[in-house]
Amino acid sequence: MTVCLHFHGAAGTVTGSCYRIVHPGGQFLVDCGLFQGNKSVRDLNLKPTPFDPRQIDFLLLTHAHIDHAGLLPKLYGEGWRGPMWMTEPTAGLLEYLLPDSAGIQESEAERETKKRGRRGDEPARPLYTMEDAEEALNHRRTCQYREWFEPGPGVRARYWNAGHIIGSASIEVEVRNGDGEPVRLMFSGDIGPDEKVFYAEPEGPSGFDYILCESTYGGRERVDYTLAQRREALKSEINTALQRGGNLIIPAFAVERSQELLHDIGLLIKQGEIDPRLVVLDSPLASKVTGVYRKYARMFEDTELSADELFSDPRFRIIEAVEESKALNAIKGGAIILSASGMADAGRIKHHLRNNLIRANATVLFVGYQAPGTLGQIILSGAREVRIHGNLVPVRAAVRAMGNYSAHADHSELMDWIAERLPAHGALFLTHGEDEERHALRDAVLATGRLGGDQVILPQLDDYFELTVAGIKAARQPEARRVDLRQLPQDWHNQFSDFTIRLSQRLHELPDKDKLTLMLALQGQLSALGAEESPRPVPTPVTPVETQAFDE
């Protein structure tokens, strides 16, 4: 029997990481993440799990980000009771991330149920519940970096520092095939950049049968900043924003990004480089996660400012209570407000954006990648109006961006990581990236001449491959995919929202005599499409929104 590798997520998308390995001794998973992004991508969370969870022996988790771990409660809700292996800091982060995600699923379902009740429709069901999240937490098992362990018959694994977030790992796996030979695989997880505040550079051995590497930044290079240069750039952005007289709003991921920003802001204050009136971390989840970072501070590589020193500054405030968050609306200038989520699609950041985007003296600073279709990407693209909580909000604030707080390796750093893991006797699979980025990374790898054209593979959702020590025996596609692959990068929901906003703007700009002409033309088009006779849509379960821990 061969070893079979299934791609159930992060294949043609940046999220939903999930790989299933079937072998003579059983089957196991590497990651089980939430799909995030546009509505077509998020709807994948609602579809039936493409395998029977009760047949899974164990799971290996690369790190705690929700797009790698966010569907774990769903598995336990469907009856799975197997162990999940991870590093100790990852186990600490999950203590807060999984219940937070479950709370979002439940609150979204409750909100949707109220809407459906007014239409007489059936109540919405959450993707999973707080009880499911608590059940998942009961099955955590921890392991150490660089130490082999045997999670199941015929399988052994070893974790290596991935330099992405605290506790993140690349996982080396050996799986025995039907002849008793070990098939060696390396799962990259998410690879961090070379310059990080807290961690050493990513590491791992070389020489595998198969390598799976993320490709989030394939074909894209960031400005090559040192940590000192990055802080200088942040100082410039902060001082410019404060000089404008308004607040500085920073959408930031609760895990890693918030902690790095707080560290750099604190260091700049200590050095007298900036002088904000107030620095606020407004996120219950980020507050709890910061506690985990303080607990494992001994693991950090570069901390020029201790956590105790940072939070002793009277201008620093971590907010959890809703009323304290609402009180920030009264502050008209001089404050730096960090809040989740990093792509502005959920959480308290939407309230702060709604309150500050309308102010011409305010500034919004994005410090990471904004996925297509997210509120952050729409704002950053130059939209004059955005829809927040169902209301159109004019964008008068200055909108800025920095790319040097990414927790992901850029193109050159991914190429270096791949080069250090080679040779790959069988194949290199490029995952966890949009197709444009994957093609760019594939072309660059092939240009090195170290792998042949048939050895660099871009798997699509639910593809699977029969692996041997000598190479791929067969590559197969599912009988039916869970989604039309053309919908993954962009779907009609985002296009419709953008169209309605632009149409509204155009109508306001037209003379009254032309408005009627345009409206009559649109009505004619709708009639031609049979819109007036269209049946009422059948209700579907609620689509989960982005969690506060959206990975970048």
Condensed to tens digits (0 to 9), the pLDDT of residues 204-230 reads 999 999 999 999 999 998 877 778 888
- Please, what is the angle between helix 257-270 and helix 284-295, to 10°? 80
Map out the domains of the chain with their CATH numbers.
3-221+407-487 (3.60.15.10), 227-401 (3.40.50.10890)
Q: What is the pTM of this model?
A: 0.82
What pLDDT score was predicted for residue 533?
44
Q: Which of 19-33, 310-324, 340-354, 400-414 has the lowest mean pLDDT?
A: 310-324
Helix (H, G, I), strand (E, B) or coil at 46: helix
Q: What is the mean pLDDT of the chain?
A: 87
Give the pair of three-digit tokens for residue 155: 């399988």
Q: What is the pLDDT of residue 485?
A: 74
Q: In this predicted model, what pLDDT tens digit does every residue of 4-37 receive, in sequence order? A: 999 999 998 899 999 999 999 999 999 999 998 7
Q: What is the mean pLDDT of residues 430-458?
A: 96
Is residue 517 exposed (0-12), middle (13-18) or buried (19+ Cβ within 10 Å)?
Answer: exposed
Model pLDDT, residue 324: 92
Nearest to 213 by CA among 437, 405, 4: 437
Instruction: Give residue 201's pLDDT.
Output: 85
Query: Of 52-66, 131-145, 403-417, where does mean pLDDT reach its minimum?
Result: 403-417
For 77-114, the pLDDT digits (tens) are 999 999 999 999 999 999 999 999 999 899 889 988 98
Q: Work out the angle between the directed axes of helices 130-137 and 88-119 (0-180°, nearest 10).
A: 170
Position 370 scores a pLDDT of: 82
Residue 359 has pLDDT above 70, yes or no: yes
Q: Does residue 525 carry a pLDDT above 80?
A: no
Return the pLDDT at 538.
39
Give the model confidence (pLDDT) of 380-430 as tens digits: 999 999 999 888 999 999 999 987 787 889 999 999 999 999 999 999 999
CA–CA distance, 258 with 262 (Å, rounded to integer)? 6
Strand order of the sheet with strand 59-60?
A: 140-143, 84-87, 59-60, 26-30, 19-23, 3-7, 464-467, 472-476
- The predicted-structure confidence for 231-279, as pLDDT tens digits, reads as follows 999 999 999 999 999 999 999 888 878 888 988 998 899 899 999 999 9
Structure tokens given for 180: 């008793």
Q: Is the pLDDT of residue 542 over 60?
A: no
Predicted pLDDT at 137: 98
Across the range 151-174, mean pLDDT stands at 96
* Cα–Cα distance for residue pair 151/369, rounded to 1 Å: 35
Q: State yes or no: pLDDT of 489 exceeds 80.
A: no
pLDDT band at 314 (very low <50, low <70, confident <90, very high): confident
Note the pLDDT of residue 549: 38
Q: What is the pLDDT of residues 458-488, one digit of tens each?
A: 999 999 999 999 899 999 988 878 877 776 6
pLDDT-derived band of residue 539, with 50, 70 and 90 as boundaries? very low
* Across 113-137, average pLDDT: 92
Contact status, residue 9 vs residue 16, Cβ threshold 8 Å: yes
Mean pLDDT of 544-550: 41
**Tens-digit pLDDT profile for residues 178-190:** 999 999 999 999 9
Amino acid 550: pLDDT:
38
Lowest mean pLDDT among 120-124, 203-207, 508-512: 508-512
For residue 551, what pLDDT is reported?
Answer: 43
Q: For 192-203, what is the mean pLDDT?
A: 79
